Structure 1
């Protein structure tokens, strides 16, 4: 009762037609949202399915990059209009990264880099961006270099980063030579200020 009643002047068959039109419009909008959500979920599920197969076969996760390259080539041929479903990162307005350091079965230290981002139409994407192997040492500098390599390869801009989450490993957090501190320093050098 507090809102203007814009349809009071419509009566009879015209009112029924207007109601049906509004219902159709709502159904179409809901269907479009559900379809888009389903496509994003399927892309994420496919990414995890490939990661699971790589893990089960005891292959290095760098093979995942090769698999992704193959999939993109297939998409370009079969359904080029769907390529953007595989390349969300370039469209992020804001993104955050999460870092998890672990060791594989052969005692090689690795950092899993997850990216969560949102685009201009508020579509949220979360994915394992890369698994970086640290062959020599697991210093903050090594981890930082791996992060910057992944950020660069995805075409992400440091000015759009809104957060970094870590597993709390010593090489990740700290005031001077830790990965997060080095990211903040790189941002300051680029004139980007963030208060995390």
Structure 2
């Protein structure tokens, strides 16, 4: 199925389910008319998805402004078109003590993937989201040299930047993906 083209399918399923939801003939007929007259074209669905995404983005920004402390987790990967992608996760603590973890951004690194490129992309992202940088307590990175280098890597660049506070820097050498792969290899040996 192509993205955002399943509106007619959804309408059909809802209309079929309406017989169980509304046993009374009058209510069912009114409901089915509303569903049939609802526009669910790909363009409409795209607009509605964008509205929902904007709402989620706004709520995340509100929560981040109110956070007590936060940490970021960075993982560099390459997609199927050979474009380097930087996955940025943020874990933060709110005033009420609740902890949330969210995907902050997926940043395509269209140039080289040096520590400086990653650092500049991430700093611009933090500034765009108006994250209170002074509340950063930890950074976890993958094993890519552009992340782990003490001088030219992402962590080294941040530690030298006066805008960044002192933070704990962690190097994650075992990603969930590699754990799953190892588990799969051992279970499927003959």
Q: Do the structures match in fold with TM over 0.5?
A: yes
Give the superposition deviation at 1:175: 1.6
- CA offsets, 1:128-167, max 9 Å, x none? 1001111110000110011111111221122100100011
Inter-partner Cα distance in structure 2 for 1:133 and 1:72: 19
Note if 1:193 corresponds to 2:174: no
Q: Please point out which of 146, 150, 158 is paired with 2:133.
A: 158
- What is the match of residue 24 of structure 1? none
Question: TM-score, structure 1 length as denominator?
Answer: 0.56
Does residue 168 (structure 1) correspond to residue 149 (structure 2)? The answer is no
Aligned residues: 124
| Structure 1 residue corresponding to 2:90, chosen from 115, 136, 161 | 115
Secondary structure at the counterpart of residue 180 of structure 1: helix
Separation of aligned partners in 1, 2:102 and 2:108: 18
| 1:88–1:125 contact (8 Å) kept in structure 2 | no
Asked if 2 retains the 8 angstrom alpha-carbon contact of 1:99 and 1:113, the reply is: yes
Q: Partners of 1:67 and 1:176 in 2: how far apart?
A: 45
**Partner Cα separation in structure 1 for residue 130 and residue 139 of structure 2:** 17
Unaligned stretches of 5+ residues in structure 1: 1-52, 55-65, 76-82
Q: Is the CA contact (8 Å cut-off) linking 2:61 and 2:130 kept in structure 1?
A: no
Aligned with 2:111 (options 121, 126, 136): 136
2:137 aligns to what SS in structure 1?
Answer: strand
1:95-150: CA deviations, max 9, x gaps?
A: 00000000011000011000000011112110110011111100001100111111
Contact 1:72 1:86 in 2 (8 A): no
Equivalent residue number for residue 122 of structure 2: 147
- Find the counterpart in structure 2 of residue 31 from structure 1: none
Q: Matched residues in 1 for 2:112 and 2:118: separation?
A: 9
Residue 70 of structure 1, aligned match among 44, 51, 63: 51
> What's the RMSD between the two structures over aligned residues?
2.8
Once residues 149 and 81 of structure 2 are traced to their aligned partners in structure 1, the CA distance between those partners, rounded to angstroms, is 28
